[in-house]
Amino acid sequence: MHETSIAIGFLQSLSELAEKENAKKITKVRVRIGKLSGIVIESFQFAFDTLKEEYEKLKSAELLIEELPVKYKCNDCEMEFETDSVYFPECPKCGSINLSLISGEELEVVDVEIEV
């Protein structure tokens, strides 16, 4: 379960941010996770909620996760589309498989709320 190691690194970074900003605590963290990121959202949430108890300034932090869809752009007809299929998708307009991934692999912090 690599979500635990990701959560540990994430919590360590947040703890360092809290120290750097002289925060009393971090209250909320919003992240975006793409469906192709390889991260099981429920496992990441569980790991975060369990492990945050180890960090004094993160004990009451709320993690909000937005799951981003898999989105492609067809390089032939330029249509952008979302799909649930991760196995060899094709353009719904022209049938091409000449595609570029636009979103779906993200793991990014949107914002962090701190109390000073």
Please report, in range form, the residues annotated as the binding site for Ni(2+): 2
Known binding residues for Zn(2+) are: 74, 77, 91, 94
**CA–CA gap between residue 91 and residue 73 (Å, rounded):** 8
86 in Cβ contact with 57 (< 8 Å) = no
Distances (CA, A) of 57 to 21, 86, 109, 114, 115: 12, 39, 18, 9, 10
Known binding residues are: 2, 74, 77, 91, 94
101 in Cβ contact with 72 (< 8 Å) = yes
